[in-house]
Structure 1
């Protein structure tokens, strides 16, 4: 049965987009905030519930969420400290998931809804599954900022920034479950990558190829311009 709950990380500072919006989740792309794109995309993918993890700018983002009628159930939780790595924000969602799997996504990653759907259908594989893109050199991807992944078939061998001999990109969309939360919880202030490395060491981190699906990390003005052009072209 496909996963029906999404977890959306929206807790970070987003300093490189501060000129476009005071809080990154509210940064408009083609006239709609990033968080709106993410939530409506999750609903289009068949998810019926979204848990939004807030931190920096939580009051403003929560107020925005409260003014909209969403096509899925939306609830919010707070990270313990938005200055800590993103694995801490992932852990904030664990209590409300109560052991159920979820599709995990980043609020600043604008993706084709089918990418969420593919992870929901693939599932966790007994650990965690990452959607990857093997189109190395894609003009939408910043090679210095993206998380790189090295695979052996469907298994993750290594993951990290600037990874030597990597063969694909991390799209920022995962299927996660209790084993990832356990891995993250065993560390003091973990990043999501740290947790995936632990699972990979146990043979419990797998990938699903999403190279046929579009996505972009909207992390700076250059990426924002590319995302605008993509979305406006789709609407034309």
Structure 2
């Protein structure tokens, strides 16, 4: 798997005090979107499709001004106010049926996580990188998506969900069935598409509990990310 879809369409209101555009929020001396693309390149990804929406012109101008180590393309989301599945669907025509990594621009992760998910592939529909370190200080329990598993299969997923046995890291390997599931939804969200695939046994997990990642979604998480990068 050498292609990735990077979702960068949302407004990022919880991080607005640090940056008008979350993908362009500087962490450790560079914007979040730069960290994601460069780390994907380190993991062996050769093509990144960035889906834009809120402040699309600023993000696209930033991308155009850089000489990236991978091929970078953009896909404009029809309405960034809609659930994140709409953003994922914006990239589908550029994939032409190819399986892909799917990741969130505001998730700062070790490149090893991207590499592990690319190696795992999409399986019967999708695989999700999960973290079983419940209670990790970097994870916001009010914002993280919880996952319940049975073996290597997802049986339930959602925010504020109990019981659960792991966290969603925000990094997926997805294939055609995932996009087909999104297409059936009136308000396409990634979580709802995962639920549809999970009902048929097509949503797997890959344990990434040994790899660090952080969802940089608010000032507290931004400070934790700065500390992490400074230490590494």
CA–CA distance in 1 between the matches of 2:188 and 2:101? 19
CA–CA distance in 2 between the matches of 1:44 and 1:148? 28
TM-score (norm 1): 0.98
CA–CA distance in 2 between the matches of 1:18 and 1:160? 25
- Are residue 118 (structure 1) and residue 116 (structure 2) matched? yes
CA–CA distance in 1 between the matches of 2:190 and 2:48? 19
Choose the corresponding residue for 2:49, options 48, 51, 61.
Answer: 51
Choose the corresponding residue for 1:146, options 141, 144, 147.
Answer: 144
Provide, for residues 154-202 of structure 1, a one-character-per-residue CA deviation record: whole Å limited to 9, x for no partner: 0000000011110000000000110000000001121100000000001
CA–CA distance in 1 between the matches of 2:188 and 2:182? 6
CA–CA distance in 2 between the matches of 1:96 and 1:189? 21
Structure 1: gaps (5+ residues): none
Structure 2: gaps (5+ residues): none
- Are residue 21 (structure 1) and residue 23 (structure 2) matched? no
Choose the corresponding residue for 2:63, options 49, 62, 65.
Answer: 65
SS at match of 2:61: helix
Q: Name the residue aligned to 1:231.
A: 229
SS at match of 2:7: strand
Q: How far did residue 153 of structure 1 move? A: 0.5
SS at match of 2:142: coil
Q: How far did residue 220 of structure 1 move? A: 0.2
CA–CA distance in 1 between the matches of 2:85 and 2:164? 22
**RMSD, matched Cα:** 0.5
Q: Name the residue aligned to 2:129.
A: 131
Stretches (4+) displaced over 3 A: none
CA–CA distance in 1 between the matches of 2:223 and 2:39? 20
Superposition pairs for residues 136-215 of structure 1, below 5 Å? 136-215=134-213
- Matched length: 232
Q: Name the residue aligned to 2:9.
A: 11
CA–CA distance in 2 between the matches of 1:21 and 1:69? 23
